[in-house]
Amino acid sequence: MKNQITSALSDFFFEYETPRQVLVRNRRVGVVCRLIQLGVLVYIIGWVFIYEKGYQSTDTAISSVFTKMKGVGYTNDSGGERVWDVADYVFPSQGDSSFVVMTNYIMTEGQSMGTCPELPGKHDCSTDADCEGGSFKRTGNGEMTGVCVKRTKTCEVLAWCPVEDDREVPDPPLLLSAENYTLFIKNSVTFPAFDVSRSNLVEDIDSNYISRCLYHPDNAPLCPIFKLGDIIKLSDLDFQTIAKVGGAIGIVVDWTCNFDVDVKHCKPEYTFHGLYGSKEGASVGYNFRFARHYMEDKIQKRTLLKVFGIRFDIIVHSLARKFDIIPTLTAIGSGVGIFGVATVVCDLVLLYLLPKREFYKNMKFKYTDTQVQQDSESVGVDTNVYYTLEENAKQAQGKDQSKDPDSEAGSTETDVSKK
């Protein structure tokens, strides 16, 4: 028993199986097949490996963004001269990756809780019956008291009074100076699969450079300080329009990194594009309402700001690649499979399209004779003496066929030619 296992093991280890092959010397088939195989090889090496870098595994980063605006705005309206600094025009103030820079506004000062007529157009009326007391309108400013104010021909509401009049948006925008504000972006990314952390303040960017640089797509592509006017221009938008009604801009920080080369080549790229399809007109502009509450003479009051502004979304898009044995071998293994497809295609040409297909079929295939086999199966004799059709024919022809070197190559036609 032990001997048998040893022998089986030694058989297994000392034997090696390799498929037998026909070497077809045929120019047409040869060239066609080599070209197909070359195509597959070029595809695997050129496309999968070099172009798509199929030998690398990929990872996306976890990232964190901090932003800081700089610059001062100036307005001179009925309320007198005013300057606006960062604490006034950035919402929210703490430097989020998504924030709004106010460029225009409608300010309603000194609102207090009370009753006053609605804005014309919001809820017009001719008699009190038109104003159902206690009801709301979703787009209205408050709760209707049931009174129709004759002077304005609108319903009276309980609301922060006076109600905001936003029918006319200041044009030109009040804070056109926003064009000169600058935005500073700090972004750090970590690729957990490769254990690499990077900051957008890469090797060459020191505090000295930051203090004087300004982003330019060609001249200073790594400077993390952006002029607002430049961002709008690079997004193909018009500053005056977007400053008036507001808009949203995505700043994409693209980290496409190859960690097979030195990590210092992993640098961010900045691109800019308008969001929310603001050009299509379905829903243009960007605004929100913001209130500052205060007490005056023991009465709670508020200043309501309808803020039109540019919303910036800093969007980090990351894709790092590094050599990895698994995708490499998967690509190779699957490439070998496609090679197999190439062989199948060539075989189809060889066996079905060529004039001498019968010859090649005989070269390639060895048949077990169905007839004889079936017979022997039916009589239940498990003998190993099987003859192929051709062999039987040859036997009938006599012993001179004995030197036939390869019975697969010998076909009926052969016999005929020898006669």
209 near 146, Cβ under 8 Å? Answer: no
Site for its own copies in 253-282 (CB under 8 A): 273, 275-277, 280-282
Query: From the list 125, 178, 231, 307, which residue makes contact with its own copies (rule: CB under 8 A)?
Result: 307
Residue 103 within binding range of its own copies, rule CB under 8 A: no
Whether 323 and 260 have beta carbons less than 8 Å apart is answered as yes
DSSP string, 379-406: HT--------HHHHHHHHH-GGGGG-S-
Residue for token pair 């693209």: 254
DSSP structural state of residue 172: S
Closest to its own copies by CB, 148 or 305:
305
Within 162-221, the residues that bind its own copies by CB under 8 A are 177, 180-182, 186, 188, 190, 192, 197, 199, 201, 205-207, 210
Which residue in 113, 122, 68 sits closest to 95, CA to CA?
Answer: 68
For position 391 contacting its own copies by CB under 8 A, the verdict is yes
Given 1, 31, 149, 179, the residue binding its own copies (CB under 8 A): 31
Please give the C-alpha separations between residue 52 and each of 43, 48, 265, 298, 327, in angstroms, as whole numbers.
Answer: 11, 5, 19, 70, 12
Residue 186 assigned to a binding site: no
| Binder among 41, 220, 315, 345 for its own copies (CB under 8 A) | 315
Query: Among residues 81 and 127, whose Cβ is nearest to its own copies?
Result: 81
217 close to 281: Cβ distance less than 8 angstroms: no
294, 323, 352, 375: residue in contact with its own copies (rule CB under 8 A) = 294
Pattern of binders to its own copies over 217-246, x per CB under 8 A?
------------------------------
Rounded CA-CA distance 247/191 in Å is 32
- Burial class (CB within 10 angstroms; exposed 0-12, middle 13-18, buried 19+) of 315: middle
Close Cβ partners of 354 (under 8 Å, ≥ 6 residues apart) = 26, 28, 29, 360
- Closest approach of Cβ 314 to its own copies, in Å? 10
Nearer to its own copies, 45 or 363 (CB): 363
Q: Is 359 annotated as a binding residue?
A: no
Does the annotation place 68 within a ligand binding site? yes
Q: Does 3 bind its own copies (CB under 8 A)?
A: no
Residue choice 2, 3, 78, 92 for contact with its own copies (CB under 8 A): 92
Cis peptide bond prior to 221, omega within 30° of 0: no
Q: Any contact of residue 30 with its own copies (CB under 8 A)?
A: yes
233 carries a ligand binding annotation: no
**How many residues would you count in the chain?**
419
Residue 182 annotated as part of some ligand binding site: yes
366 binds its own copies (CB under 8 A): yes
Known binding-site residue numbers: 68-70, 182, 287-289, 306
Which residues does the annotation place in the binding site for ATP? 68-70, 182, 287-289, 306
